[in-house]
Structure 1
Amino acid sequence: MDVPDGGYAAVMGVSGAGKSTLLSILGGLEAVQQGTVCVGGEDLSTLRGRQLARFRRARIGFVFQDFGLLTMLTARENVELALTLTGVPRGRRKEQADQLLGEVGLAARATHRPPKLSGGELQRVAIARALANRPAVLLADEPTGNLDEDSAIRVMELLERLRAERGCTLVVVTHNPELAARADERLRLSRGQLVRQ
């Protein structure tokens, strides 16, 4: 798999094929067992512990299918938490969180908690949170899996727009062939092998 800086790749495959594991390896959440994995010129197989955590904080944004938001926090506070982890000073977090929520079209919903947001809105908060560290690589694991068709299209359009505006690399795992067709490069994971489509 070779995705150029600023590129857009979609990975498809049956359930259990290892798509989520692949994203976890690319994002430094799981160790490389064999071979070489380079992300942005960094060989992940040589990084351990704190080095890997530093790499993730500096270079990777994650968008998960289940959103991963804390329900007791507002949309703004969920994004602020990510900003805290990236070292943004307290006095600048609210402003930056509001800016990120504005980028995803949720400025007016900043004070709402997850139970008061629709599925599409929850995913947009999760995207804003993933952008908190200004990642070079955005990894999205079934970002539309829990959404209706219209919301799914809007979320993919948002990810594509943000990729273009920010120049980040986008790697999306999806079961939806129509959404995968939007990518520059389409790959299928089957029996441990990535095959170009």
Structure 2
Amino acid sequence: MKKNMVYFVLYIILIVELLVVITERDELQAVEYEIRNKMLTTLAENYKSDIYLSIPEKESEYSLGAKENVRVVLTPIGLTSEKEKENIEFFIDIAEDSKNIPPNWPKGGINLSTLNEDYNIEKEEGNGVFIAKFSRIGSYKFVAYCQVQRVLPEYLPENLLEELKREVGENLIKKSNLEDFIINAKSFGGLEKKEAKIIF
């Protein structure tokens, strides 16, 4: 009888220990699930967020006949990966309220695939650089924007990646704000006359 009681007590202890282990496992899984959901939510918000275009130098000067072309840096803000930096596209056109249109400016503006010998866009470490030379004096106002297709992280397990796709959608394209800038093309060929002063 005593032997049976001992076995019964041991059985109860084992059951209690097993319940403790199961409870701890369930609590751990609940914490992991919460962390996973927060991570997916944060990632989804990042990929859904807008991108912005910043042009640090809003007004530039250019001397006609200068050996160096004028360069205007276009900085995208809100990219999430190196892949997006590689895929970012830039678009520039003459602003509707520009008083002048530069010679040889292509109709519809320029992007990375529609360039000419006078106006060009290059990419440098995720930034765009507008490179131009002018043959006529004038103040030229341009408007620019950038656009990117969001690239989801490849490091995620397939099931999490599928959930993220459901959250943000596939082939999600983000377009930035419009940002304008001005280039003043001037001729500095003449010598400035200075008043002669005679000191006695």
The TM-score bracket by the shorter chain reads: under 0.3
Higher helix share: 1
Higher strand share: 2
- Between the two structures, name the one with larger relative contact order (CA 8 Å, sep ≥ 6): 1
TM-score with structure 2 setting the length: 0.22
TM-score with structure 1 setting the length: 0.23
